[in-house]
Structure 1
Amino acid sequence: MNVKTHVTVISTIEPLTQTTIATFTLTSTIPHNVKGTNMSRFTEQLELYRRQGFTLTFSQLSDFIKELSERLGQKDAQLKVSFPWFYEQTAPSSLLTGLNSADARILFSYRNGKVVERKVELTCTVTTLCPCSKEISEYSAHNQRGFIKMNVLLTDDYDESIDWKVTLLNAAQSNASAVIHPILKRLDEKIVTEKAYENPRFVEDMVRLVAADLYEVPFVQSFKVECRNEESIHLHDAYASVSFDKTTN
């Protein structure tokens, strides 16, 4: 099933608590000798948590998927919840602050009485400046809007007091040519533009740099990093990706 409902999201950066609309995708397997599942039980479970106040903490999500499996009478269940996450971004000179956003996703797999896999995903937007354009041009260089997607498998000992959303956001923003801001005055634009010029990035650079940061994060077991640039002077997009599993490499 695939349904939207409102939820509460907790963050370690402002706004610390926010309500947003989340899309839940809930699935379960059924035995070969059973004709179908009882769809109303999915929505009953979701409505129960909505009425209680559904906060997207890992503890609540673990309870939710466990109870869903029991309600369905199945040994397994899968949960995917996607939502926009808002965070404040401050301009470098004027210090004017506005809301920026990223697309977040949490995936839980439950089997035989326990959560066996927890994955998270964040897609955020940055600015990248083309190294080739800077190298061959006498002045200026073209830049573009880049979309960084990080898909991460969490370790079993992940401590939720550490906000995975902020960790992934920092990995993307700190390696970009420049950060995208909701509010910029003229002096802010000068600073951001010059910073981008001094930090050119190909999509290949972006995924490697972000991957290097994620490799150092203790609660990251494996990851895939993707970068897609909406090129400003080319008809095509530019794309790169890299994957790594700490347990096998």
Structure 2
Amino acid sequence: MKDVQSEKDLRRIPLKHVGIKDLRWPIELKDRTRGTQHSVARVTLAVDLPHDMRGTHMSRFVECMRDLGPVGLNEIEGILDKLKEHLQAEKAFLQLEFPYFITKTAPVSGMTAPMDIDCVYKAEKGRDFKLTIQAVVPMQTLCPCSKEISDYGAHNQRAWAKLEIRAHELVWLEELAEMADAAASAPVYGLLKRPDEKFVTEHAYENPRFVEDAVRELALRLEADTRIDWYRAEVESVESIHNHNAFAVVEKSEDKCC
């Protein structure tokens, strides 16, 4: 049959990413407590396309995944190598977006319940392999200004910490969640009884933080972790009394990376 995708293209425009997205695939994750955890990822696979090639072979992206079963961290670089080989590409890209469940223990009752965090593995390989890990962790912030100027009470709100790292050793997703909890006015839990709610509410009141405070606290912890080569952290607060969100970002310079 005629191979239309491999026809020559004369427009001389190389393409950065060509591939498939929103493919659902089983994955197997390293779990600090239980050893492994299974989840389902939304997968993006892509390669760079040279200027003289009309298209790529979309079916080959799935072919490079089909014999693996559940995909884990150890398989990612091999998938990229397969993509480069089978699609005759100089650079390949893979992204896995998935929920990961951590077990949180309520601060007073000691009751435990799972809580999901949204995570992303983003990998690419040209000559070198590069892997970025992202975790989005719910947290609580309480406004220092509101506490200072009010006769009683202070406005607080749900916020999110988005941590992105590149590391030369394993950093557990649970550790990223713990960094976010420590940077917040108070953590968020899957299950709280009334004594727990009292504790969390009062803890947040005694620990007010702007998004600027929270993201700097994250930076201190990320910078102190010698396994982490590069990081970017963002805290976004869904403001309870304003018609906008507040956010702050910190990023380690690439120039300071090993």
Distance 1:33 1:191 in 2: 64
Distance 1:144 1:70 in 2: 49
SS at match of 1:192: helix
- Can you list the C-alpha shifts for 1:35-59, whole angstroms capped at 9, x where unaligned? 110000001112222xxx32422x2
Equivalent pair of 2:45/2:94 in contact (CA under 8 Å) = yes
Q: TM-score with structure 2 length normalisation?
A: 0.87
Structure 1 residue 246: Cα displacement:
6.4
How is 1:109-120 mapped onto 2 (pairs within 5 angstroms)? 109-112=124-127, 114-115=128-129, 117-120=130-133
Distance 2:64 2:117 in 1: 27
Structure 1 residue 29: Cα displacement:
1.0
Structure 1 residue 28: Cα displacement:
0.5
In structure 2, the residue matched to 1:56 is 72
Equivalent pair of 1:153/1:221 in contact (CA under 8 Å) = yes
SS at match of 2:256: coil
Distance 1:237 1:80 in 2: 27
In structure 2, the residue matched to 1:123 is 136
Partner amino acid, structure 2, of 1:214 = L
Alpha carbon RMSD of aligned pairs, Å?
Answer: 1.6
Structure 1 residue 96: Cα displacement:
0.8
2:169 equivalent to 1:159:
yes
Partner of residue 99 from structure 1, selected from 110, 114, 119: 114
In structure 2, the residue matched to 1:233 is 241
Structure 1 residue 18: Cα displacement:
2.1
Equivalent pair of 1:8/1:55 in contact (CA under 8 Å) = yes
Partner of residue 54 from structure 2, selected from 35, 39, 53: 35
Partner of residue 222 from structure 2, selected from 211, 214, 231: 214
- The count of aligned residue pairs is 237
Partner of residue 189 from structure 2, selected from 171, 175, 181: 181
Higher RCO by CA contacts (8 Å cutoff, separation 6 or greater): 1
Q: Cα gap change, 1:194/1:16 in structure 2, threshold over 3 Å: closer, same or farther?
A: farther
In structure 2, the residue matched to 1:46 is 65
In structure 2, the residue matched to 1:79 is 94
SS at match of 1:8: strand
Q: Which has the larger radius of gyration?
A: 2
Q: TM-score with structure 1 length normalisation?
A: 0.90
Q: Higher mean Cα deviation, 62-71 or 197-206?
A: 62-71
Equivalent pair of 2:26/2:71 in contact (CA under 8 Å) = no
2:30 equivalent to 1:10:
yes
In structure 1, the residue matched to 2:201 is 193
Structure 1 unaligned residues grouped into runs of 5+: none
Structure 1 residue 223: Cα displacement:
1.6
- Can you list the C-alpha shifts for 1:54-111, whole angstroms capped at 9, x where unaligned? 2422x21111211221121222201111111111001011111111111111111111
Q: Between the two proteins, what is the percent identity of the paired residues?
A: 35
In structure 1, the residue matched to 2:157 is 144
In structure 1, the residue matched to 2:9 is none
Partner amino acid, structure 1, of 2:97 = S
